[in-house]
Structure 1
Amino acid sequence: MSTHHMLQGDGSAAESGTTELELNGHIVMSDDICVRLPLRFIYRMSDPYVVTLEFPSESPDRPPVVWELSRELLWEGIQRPAGPGNVRIWPPRSRLGGGQLSILLKGAGDSALLEIPFPTMSTWLVSESLTLVPLGTESRLIDWDAVLQRLRSGW
């Protein structure tokens, strides 16, 4: 497990506006089988409501599989079960020993259950992404005139 930051300038995530977390999680195949899987979570100030989750595709020739998660949903999910839709997140039953954060991703006919180290994710979310952009202040980073212009032009 390691935390990796995209760094620019003097080396601060705040300067680059991006922070990344690379870690090894598991995809749950059955009650008895979990497969280790490298994962990368990316938070960008340029898209302040989103945490991007990347995991490798089955073929090295193909780009990674990407899911966009609501940062607010991820925040809620480290505290209590959250997510009524295609993404559901829940913390470990007991945080005393650390445990695993569970993320259920549902697609068209398929689903994947990921388990990731809870302490690593919660620390990164709080000390990195929420330091870059505190919850509730995301809208200040949106260029609403540009959004409105795109809507008027039909995207």
Structure 2
Amino acid sequence: MGQDSCLTLRLRFIYRMSDPYVVSLAFPSGSPDLPPVVWELSRELLWEGIRRPAGLGSVRIWPPCCRCGGGQLRILLKEAGETALLEVPFSKLYVWLVSDSFGLVSMGTESGLIDWDAVVRRLRNDR
């Protein structure tokens, strides 16, 4: 049986035009010699989760609950029997998503940045 614990971590949200559908969450590894642990999720899922409960399976997102004192967006991550529940300041995440993400690539225009020929070549080589 696992042990529950609560930690305060510096979590970085990263968006790159080279992977326009993805938002990366970078967690410190706990050691200065190791790179951060990165979890990738859909930018569209994150946007949906800001407005209403969203996600299935290994990633679920809930917007702030006004009845619970609301300023935190909650993100549940599950993998290999382990679970992490993140509480992220809603207003900071919202501003970042709108300015740093949608400011670079508007929702619905992501496919224009994909090199589809390269995707097809990669798929053919993976067989």
* 4+ long deviations beyond 4 Å: none
**What residue is the counterpart of 1:85 in the other structure?**
57
Paired residues of 1:56 and 1:64 also in contact (CA < 8 A): yes
**What residue is the counterpart of 1:102 in the other structure?**
74
Residue 85 of structure 1 deviates from its aligned partner by 1.8
User: For the residues of structure 1 that align with 2:14 and 2:106, how far apart are their CA atoms?
Assistant: 16
Residue 59 of structure 1 deviates from its aligned partner by 2.3
After TM superposition, the score normalised by the length of structure 2 is 0.90
Could you list the runs of 5+ residues in structure 1 that have no partner in the other structure? 1-28
User: For the residues of structure 2 that align with 1:137 and 1:74, how far apart are their CA atoms?
Assistant: 17
Higher strand share: 1
User: Aligned-residue CA RMSD in angstroms?
Assistant: 1.8
Letter in 1 for 2:116: W
Residue 90 of structure 1 deviates from its aligned partner by 0.7
Q: Percent identity?
A: 71
Cα-to-partner distance string for 1:57-84 (whole Å, 9 max, x where unaligned): 1222221111001000000001111001
User: For the residues of structure 1 that align with 2:66 and 2:91, how far apart are their CA atoms?
Assistant: 12
Could you list the runs of 5+ residues in structure 2 that have no partner in the other structure? none
5 Å-filtered alignment, 1:36-47, equals: 36-47=8-19
Aligned length: 124
After TM superposition, the score normalised by the length of structure 1 is 0.74
Paired residues of 1:98 and 1:117 also in contact (CA < 8 A): no
Task: Choose from 136, 139, 148 the match for 2:111.
Answer: 139
**What residue is the counterpart of 1:11 in the other structure?**
none
Paired residues of 1:81 and 1:88 also in contact (CA < 8 A): yes
SS in 2 for 1:128: helix
